[in-house]
């Protein structure tokens, strides 16, 4: 299997994880999910600079589904009002960052003192990007 195919599989795993508990009503402890996916997403970030091709291109490919999902979320929950929202798009836009909800919730409580769904989701997405980026930087430094 080529490295690019592996990367595609790796970057689909957070979406699949977000889909499975919602579809099958599985209860996975949020802290456990956060720990496992933080390690996994950091590892994916570390592997990305080792792929053939331009590092910037690899970084963008590694975050392509993240970016698409985040843009879809912003469109559905920030730019549109409740009446205009497409429920299917609104639902699938939240699957990708599902494993990072614990950190989004904790950081939202820490900074705002309240729980706001849109804020939690945006911070969860940003936490995910931060973990991948740190892994990418560590992978790039190690490859030198």
Mind listing the pLDDT tens digit for each residue in 24-77? Answer: 777 788 899 999 999 999 999 999 998 888 889 999 999 999 999 999 999 999
pLDDT at 125 over 70: yes
The neighbour count for residue 113, using CB atoms within 10 Å, is: 7
User: Confidence class of residue 1 from pLDDT cuts 50, 70 and 90?
Assistant: low
pLDDT at 7 over 70: yes
pLDDT at 113 over 90: no
Both structure tokens of 26:
């599985």
Domain with 99, as residue range(s), is 3-142
Higher per-residue confidence, 89 vs 144: 89
Mean residue pLDDT across the chain: 91
Q: Please tell me the predicted confidence (pLDDT) of residue 92.
A: 93
Backbone torsion region of residue 86, taken as left when φ is above 0, otherwise alpha when ψ lies between -120 and 50, otherwise beta: beta
CB–CB of 51/3 below 8 Å? yes
Q: Is 57 helix (H, G, I), strand (E, B) or coil?
A: helix
How many distinct structural domains can be found in the chain?
A: 1
């Amino acid at each position: 299997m080529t490295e690019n195919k592996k990367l595609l599989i790796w970057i689909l795993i957070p979406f699949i994880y977000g889909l499975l508990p919602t579809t099958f009503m599985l209860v996975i402890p949020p802290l456990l999910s956060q720990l496992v996916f933080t390690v996994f997403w950091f590892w994916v970030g570390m592997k990305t600079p080792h792929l053939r091709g331009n590092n910037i291109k690899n970084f963008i490919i590694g975050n392509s589904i993240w970016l698409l999902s985040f843009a879809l979320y912003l469109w559905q929950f920030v730019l549109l009002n409740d009446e205009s929202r497409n429920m299917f798009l609104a639902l699938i836009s939240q699957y990708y960052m599902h494993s990072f909800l614990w950190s989004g919730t904790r950081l939202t409580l820490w900074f705002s003192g309240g729980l706001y769904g849109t804020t939690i989701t945006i911070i969860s997405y940003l936490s995910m990007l931060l973990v991948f980026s740190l892994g990418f930087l560590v992978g790039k430094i190690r490859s030198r």
